[in-house]
Amino acid sequence: MKITEHIDRAKGETLFSFEIIPPVKGRSIQELYDNIDPLMEFKPPFIDVTTSREEYVYIDKGGLYDKKITRMRPGTVGICSSIQHKYGVDTVPHLLCGGFTKEETEYVLVDCHYLGIDNVMALRGDAMKEEKYFRPTEGGHTYARGLVQQIRNLSEGKYLHETIETDDCSDFCIGVAGYPEKHLEAPSLQSDLKRLKEKVDAGADYVVTQMFFDNDKFFEFVKAARENGIKVPIIPGIKPIAVKRHLQLLPQVFRIDLPQDLIDAVDACSNNKEVRQVGVEWAIQQSKELKAQGVPVLHYYSMGKSDNIKAIAENVF
């Protein structure tokens, strides 16, 4: 079922969803199941599964190092299919511009269609770890807008090199990212909203936001999006602070602001166990306020751990 259909069927009730990352190559999928199992009591209608970019590794060959490209966390589509089969829950594989050609993207979409996956998240993706700025993959999309358009074209039988008349066209529900504090590369929030409108006009069906820690920024973002003609559902993304290092890491990586009250509470902690509890309590407060305002879904970035997400959900749902 499509995400938008889940939202419509909820009739105004706020839904619970979360996001996971594939295990590193060589690790068992059981690790994912162990973290998904405790969250199933909250009846998530869908689960997102991230896709990793390629990265460089250096192989020692007798004192000389050979530079190779690899993916440390492959298997997004396979994991999505496994979760749907095991739990009977819809999944949302993430599709990236970075690291994928248009042909590779088409192959992934065909696989998703065959596997009964109805939803995809279309993202530009980040720069590679060794690059300061994002560089498009040769033969790939430069912006998420183009990726959205490619996905939407398939619903009309328009493949990259031919148009096929068929009664079995894919019809994906497409999610895209939104940034309450603007994308780190955008010159302004208004210009970032114009890019978001372009993605929606290209065929995006809903928006999931980057993490934020000040609900007012989310409410202001939604208001501005509506004023710019963006009418699709906007889902807030929530990430609980888990370690003290997040005070430096999250603003640096995601270019977001942390409220001073949250900073002070984390600074007062003597260990990461206390920090984790502060993160849970802050996310509960955020979630309750967002739910009271009628957001369609509360989407949690679990990063493979479920204990803090479970603690939040127990107090919110």
Domain region containing 98: 3-316
- Tracing tokens 């807030």 back to the chain, one arrives at 236
Structural domain count, the chain: 1
Q: Which residues contact 56 (CB under 8 A, 6 or more apart)?
A: 67, 68, 69, 70, 128, 129, 130
Question: In the numeric block, which tokens belong to residue 124?
Answer: 């530009």
**Which listed residue (19, 54, 106, 181) is catalytic?**
19
Q: How far apart are the first and last CA of the chain?
A: 22
Q: Residue 72 has what pLDDT?
A: 67
Residue 290 parent element (H or E): helix 272-292
Q: Residue 126 has what pLDDT?
A: 86
**CB 19, CB 300: distance < 8 Å:** yes
Q: Residue 49 has what pLDDT?
A: 97
Q: Residue 90 has what pLDDT?
A: 98
Residue 36 CA to residue 310 CA, distance in Å, equals 10
Q: Residue 64 has what pLDDT?
A: 65
19 catalytic per annotation? yes
pLDDT along the chain (317 residues), means of 10: 98 97 90 95 97 70 65 87 97 96 96 97 88 89 97 94 89 98 94 98 98 98 98 98 95 94 97 96 98 98 90 98
140: CATH: 3.20.20.220
DSSP class of residue 303 equals: T
Rg from Cα positions in the chain: 20
Question: In the numeric block, which tokens belong to residue 7?
Answer: 């939202």
Residue 242 CA to residue 306 CA, distance in Å, equals 12
Q: What is the bridge-based pairing of β-strands 55-61 and 64-70?
A: antiparallel
The three state secondary structure string of 55-103 is EEEEEEECCEEEEEEECCCCCHHHHHHHHHHHHCCEEEEEEECCCCCHH
What pLDDT, in 10s, does the model give residues 196-226? 999 999 999 999 999 999 999 999 999 999 9
